Amino acid sequence: MSARMKAVAKAPADLRVIEQFLYHEARLLDEQRWDEWDALFTDAGVYWAPASPDQANATHNVSLIYENALLRAVRIKRFRHPNAFSLQPRPRTVHAVTNVMLDSMEVNGDCVVTSRFQMIHYRREKQDLFAGTYTHHLRSSPEGYRMALKKAELVNCDAPMESVLVYF
C-alpha cells in the first residue's frame, strides 16, 4: 500500500458521508433545485469544466465552463427566466456518480475526492450522453461539506459539441 493510500486509510472522514454528499449534489442538479445546489459551494467556490484533456489551469486556457459565484448566479437566473427560449422545453438530466475515491484528507476534514460520472441529457426528442471524471475539493464545516472546487473533466471535452445548457 502506498504512503498516500495509508494516509487516506487513516483519515477520520467517513467515506460514506462524502459519497452521500456527491449523490445529493447530483440529485439537486437532476431536480433543478439550483439555489440548493449553489449553496453547496463555498463563497469563493468555482465550477470548472476544462476544454482540453489534462488542462492544468482554468484561467490561462479556454474552458467549456468556468464559473464563480457571480457567474453561477447569472446562469441560474437564466434557468428560471420564463423568456429563456433556448431552455424551452426544459432539459432533463440524470447524473450517475460512481467510483468515489478519497484522494487526500487534511486534519481539519478538508479533502479532495475524485469520482466518475455519466450524465444523460434529454431535450427536444434528443438524448446526449456525457461522461468523465469529477474532482471535488471539499471544505469541512459544522453544517457539512461545501465545494471549494468542482471540476468536471469530460472524456470528449475537446470534441465538437452543441451549446452546454446544463451543469455536468
- Distance from the first to the final alpha carbon of the chain: 33
pLDDT of residue 10: 52
pLDDT of residue 78: 85
What CATH class has 3-154? alpha beta
C-alpha to C-alpha distance for 105 and 9, rounded to whole angstroms: 10
Domains in the chain: boundaries = 3-154
Neighbours of 7 (CB within 10 A): 11
pLDDT of residue 116: 98
Q: Are 132 and 65 in contact (CB under 8 A)?
A: no
Cβ-based burial of 110 (10 A; exposed 0-12, middle 13-18, buried ≥19): middle
Mean pLDDT by 10 residues, the chain (168 residues): 53 81 98 96 97 90 94 90 73 95 92 97 89 97 95 94 80
pLDDT of residue 8: 54
pLDDT of residue 82: 76
Cell of 114: 475524485
pLDDT of residue 9: 54
pLDDT of residue 21: 97
pLDDT of residue 36: 97
- Beta bridge pairs of residue 63: 50
pLDDT of residue 64: 93
What is the model's pTM? Answer: 0.89
Which H or E element spans position 151? strand 144-154
C-alpha to C-alpha distance for 53 and 37, rounded to whole angstroms: 26
pLDDT of residue 91: 84
- H-type helices in the chain, by residue range? 3-9, 15-30, 34-38, 69-80
Cβ-based burial of 127 (10 A; exposed 0-12, middle 13-18, buried ≥19): exposed
